Structure 1
Amino acid sequence: MKFRCVMIDAGPMREFSNIVATISKLSKECVLRVTAEQLYFIVCDENNGPTPPVLWCEIPQALFFSEYQMVGLDDEHKDIYLEVISVNLAKSLVTLKSAKSLKMKLTKKQCPCITLEIESPSATSQQMRHVTHDIPVIVIPRMRWSEFNEPKIPYPDISIELPPLKQLRTTIDRMRAMASEVVIRASAEGRLTLQIRTDMAKVSTRFKGLTVEAFGGPIEHSDSETETQINEDMSRICTCRVDAKKFSLFLSADQIAHNRTVCSVVHKKLVILCLQTQENVKIQCFISGIVY
């Protein structure tokens, strides 16, 4: 197996650093899948053994790297799967935002490593500074590759654009201080409501005028739910209760320059959050619904 790539453009280097930093906040460990066309960062639920990924990130290599070479396991299995400590990778890429170039390759030191060679201007002279980071990785055997396939999800009942992520993150972080779970309610009329409930109070924040990309209603609700929302047509509203911390962690992606973020809801079962950039980077986060 061989892997080597070079990055020389400031914009892609800055975005690559931000992407890895965001992933490191979601999970200490991730899987880096290397293919001829794309790099994938994959995060699985750490507590439940082999499960479908909870985060799926696609980076098209042609738009980020000036040089890109890889040779897979064999002619039939052409990909490379590596387990990496995402926190270590993120720390090593901090200086990338002011770097002139990055070379990244798979090497064999005392163990398999992702070696980063970063060239940066010196702060004290006109010479360039060269820094090398060796990040240990674990090569994932072929028998485990199926654990890291793209999740197969049911068709969402509604897909609605999200308001600005910074604004949304501020709201969620305030709610997290009061409750560990948040109810996400999306309507076919373009409203997104975030609601928490405690023993002392019920708090709701509503965003209006959002674009609804798809709606597969009508939606069935129990009689008790219909009674509490008597002024709204509940058949056009999807809801899902999720972990507030997981939702907030995805919103830390606000540091990545993006042009589109969408929230898709499978009624009471699943929330899919998707961020896309102008460079066709796609980050999807899958948050399972909490059912009582």
Structure 2
Amino acid sequence: MRFKTNLKNVRTFSKLVAALSTLEKIAWMRLDDENVRFTVIPDTGSQVWASLSMDFIFDSWQLQSAEAQNTINLELPLGPLQRALKSALNGTSASLRLTKKDGIPILSMTITTTTASANTGRDPYSRFSAHNNPRDNNDSHFNAGGDGDDDDGVFAAEPLETHLHREREKIITQDIPVRVLHPETVETIMQPKVREPDVHIQLPPLLQLKAISDRYTKLALASRATSSTTAAVTANFSPKLELSANMHGSLRLALTADTLDIASQWDGLENPELDPGQLNCLLADHPSTKFKEEGPDKWASVRVDGKDWSKVLSVGRLEGRVIACFADDHALILYVYVPQYDDASAEDSVVTYYVSSYSL
């Protein structure tokens, strides 16, 4: 089993890992000849399934295993990986290698950085100023030749003195402990299956949506603290926010509580066209078609945990477009399309979030 690669798109890779780590401390990473997949399945809360092409974050990789497509399955802690990538952000290059240390499998990240150093002192060339060209004076040591040339081939040795800045290369190694998973173990990790969505809509900027969602959550918590006499009850409480969308470009975020009833609405959003070739039914029979025919008053809704929803929206740091698919009163699926900035012709990678709906 062998895996060795150089890293590219380190900043995007770091943002992805940071978003995943808000949901869980451990992730499953699956490597094969074509893709790298990250899966996060916490005990409670939203699940994540990220599929990236190998050349999105890796360069000049070597991958070898006894499994089909040279598949390697690893369980890795996201915290150490996030810290290692943070160190690599300011480096000139970084590489990743699967190896062993004291019999324990690790992903070893080697980061190359450069630091500027300066030696202060007199510059021996400072006397060669524009107003003091050595070839213009009568110093015989700088005579180009001809009469009076007294160069005897012997030069006086001088100490090296320079104030020029020099770059020094520095190597940093970060070791990330991992577990190599058996293929039979990962067969039980299945992506949730949901019915065809009733509404699909492109979300507004996630950081904007997150700011409003967090505000609603804080208001609900403050209201709960005012009305509750038990601090423990308030600490374990997480408000439920209602997200609704229709097939006419509208999205609504609402909070209803004992003393609160507030909502925000976005209009003019895009309902992307579906690809008939990707559907399990005729487009005319698709639930979203029926929702659209019933007009703008026909909404699909889900109820999400306010604190968990805030973690999900952290994926907004990837700055990709996000399509939300609503299965009314059942689940919300977010497809985050991450562009490959150095190759405009390449297909976007997809990070999929599965968010269950809470019942009333």
| TM-score band, normalised by shorter chain | 0.7 to 0.9
1:99 aligns with 2:91: yes
User: Which amino acid in structure 2 is aligned with residue 145 of structure 1?
Assistant: V
Which residue of 148, 154, 166 maps to 2:207?
Answer: 166
Aligned length: 270
Greater share of residues in strand: 1
1:115 aligns with 2:118: no
Matched residues in 2 for 1:157 and 1:56: separation? 21
1:8-46 alpha-carbon deviations (Å, 9 max, x no partner) = x5xx11111111111111211111111111111100132
The alignment partner of 1:177 has SS state of helix
Q: What's 1:228 paired with?
A: none
Matched residues in 2 for 1:34 and 1:285: separation? 20
1:56-84 alpha-carbon deviations (Å, 9 max, x no partner) = 11121123322111113x24473111111
User: Which amino acid in structure 1 is aligned with residue 87 of structure 2?
Assistant: T
Q: Calculate percent identity across the aligned residue pairs.
A: 25
1:84 aligns with 2:76: yes
Matched residues in 1 for 2:326 and 2:92: separation? 42
What is the deviation of 1:281?
Answer: 2.2
What is the deviation of 1:152?
Answer: 2.7
1:183 aligns with 2:242: yes
Which residue of 209, 213, 216 maps to 2:288?
Answer: 216
**Conserved 8 A contact 1:17-1:96:** no
User: Which amino acid in structure 2 is aligned with residue 269 of structure 1?
Assistant: H
Matched residues in 1 for 2:50 and 2:339: separation? 14
What is the deviation of 1:147?
Answer: 2.6
Q: What's 2:17 paired with?
A: 20
Alignment of 1:38-57 (within 5 A): 38-47=35-44, 54-57=47-50
Structure 2 runs not aligned, ≥5 long: 118-165, 221-238, 275-286, 341-347
1:67 aligns with 2:60: yes
1:122-155 alpha-carbon deviations (Å, 9 max, x no partner) = 2556112111011111111222112334433321
Matched residues in 1 for 2:101 and 2:355: separation? 38
What is the deviation of 1:233?
Answer: 5.5
**Conserved 8 A contact 1:158-1:264:** yes
The alignment partner of 1:167 has SS state of helix
Matched residues in 2 for 1:101 and 1:194: separation? 43
What is the deviation of 1:244?
Answer: 1.6
Matched residues in 1 for 2:107 and 2:27: separation? 13
1:198 aligns with 2:257: yes
Structure 1 stretch displaced more, 238-247 or 206-215: 206-215
1:142 aligns with 2:183: yes
Which residue of 244, 251, 273 maps to 2:313?
Answer: 251
Q: What's 1:225 paired with?
A: none
Matched residues in 1 for 2:254 and 2:351: separation? 25
TM-score normalised by L of structure 1: 0.86
User: Which amino acid in structure 2 is aligned with residue 93 of structure 1?
Assistant: L
Which residue of 282, 285, 292 maps to 2:350?
Answer: 282
Matched residues in 2 for 1:43 and 1:85: separation? 11
User: Which amino acid in structure 1 is aligned with residue 310 of structure 2?
Assistant: S
Which residue of 261, 266, 281 maps to 1:207?
Answer: 266
Structure with bigger gyration radius: 2
**Conserved 8 A contact 1:15-1:257:** no
Q: What's 1:224 paired with?
A: none
**Conserved 8 A contact 2:52-2:350:** yes
What is the deviation of 1:240?
Answer: 0.7
**Conserved 8 A contact 1:246-1:287:** no
Q: What's 1:153 paired with?
A: 194
Matched residues in 2 for 1:139 and 1:64: separation? 21
**Conserved 8 A contact 1:6-1:68:** yes
Query: What is the CA RMSD across the aligned residues, in angstroms?
Result: 2.0
1:204-259 alpha-carbon deviations (Å, 9 max, x no partner) = 0101100012562546xxxxxxxxxxxx854x21011111222211211222232x
**Conserved 8 A contact 2:247-2:288:** no
1:268 aligns with 2:340: no
Structure 1 stretch displaced more, 178-187 or 201-210: 178-187
